[in-house]
A = this chain, B = another copy of it.
Amino acid sequence: MTEPRRRPGRPRDTSINERALAATRELLVRRGFEATTIQAVAEHSGVHASAIYRRWPSRIELIEEATFPGLSPVSVQPTGDLRRDLRRFIRAYLAAFGAPAARAAAAGLLAHYQTAGRARPPEMYLRVSARPQFQDILRAAPPGSVDPAVDPDDVFDLLLGAVLTRTLLFAVTARHRPIERTVEMILRLLRPLDA
């Protein structure tokens, strides 16, 4: 409510970006994926449609950035306690993908990708990936707790699958297993054979 829109010295674009992204999230939750058009975002945010188009080529990219904003760097600052860091990381990741706007957008985005039928670089879609932050956590782990033979990317892929399955695909039907089980599995993947 009283949050300042603009601060001295802060680039004006940031405020425009944030207003458009916030409006996109609100529209997704209130009116759904189909109704979340550039025009609707412009009306809801007060940002002119042309300014939105200058930043995002279509509503798809706008919705992607609005719904998958990545993890706050603060929330996963590694402490060197591998189990604790992984737990915080997985919680933050689940919260990001389980957010109402992300859930509201998921089916629509999936349908778009299926219909579009051609590849977009995964880095584009996952430019908000938490992969680097996962690697930071592994680097901060105590010596000997992470097998150097294991590929962090392979482990991250499994973690991503677990998070997406829990949030987007089975948001409703989730088996509600404790997060600790996923933490335990990731630790198993990382541990050296002679640990």
Contact = CB atoms under 8 A, between A and B. Distances in A.
Interface residues of A, number: 49
A74 interface: no
B171 A114 contact: yes
Contacts of A1: none
A162 B160 CA distance: 8
Contacts of A104: 114
Contacts of A165: 157, 160-161, 164-165
A189 B185 contact: yes
Copies of this chain, count: 2
A138 to B, nearest CB: 15
Nearest to A116: B172
Contacts of A169: 110, 164, 168-169
**Chain A binding surface SS class:** helix
Contacts of A181: 151, 154, 157
A114 B118 contact: no
A56 to B, nearest CB: 18
B172 A162 contact: no
A157 B173 contact: no
B113 A111 contact: no
A150 interface: yes
Given A154-B182, A193-B193, 15 more contacts: A107-B110, A107-B111, A110-B110, A114-B172, A151-B181, A154-B177, A154-B185, A155-B185, A157-B182, A158-B182, A161-B165, A161-B166, A164-B165, A185-B189, A188-B189
Interface of A: 103-104, 106-108, 110-111, 113-114, 116-122, 125-126, 150-151, 154-155, 157-158, 160-166, 168-175, 177, 181-182, 184-185, 188-189, 191, 193, 195
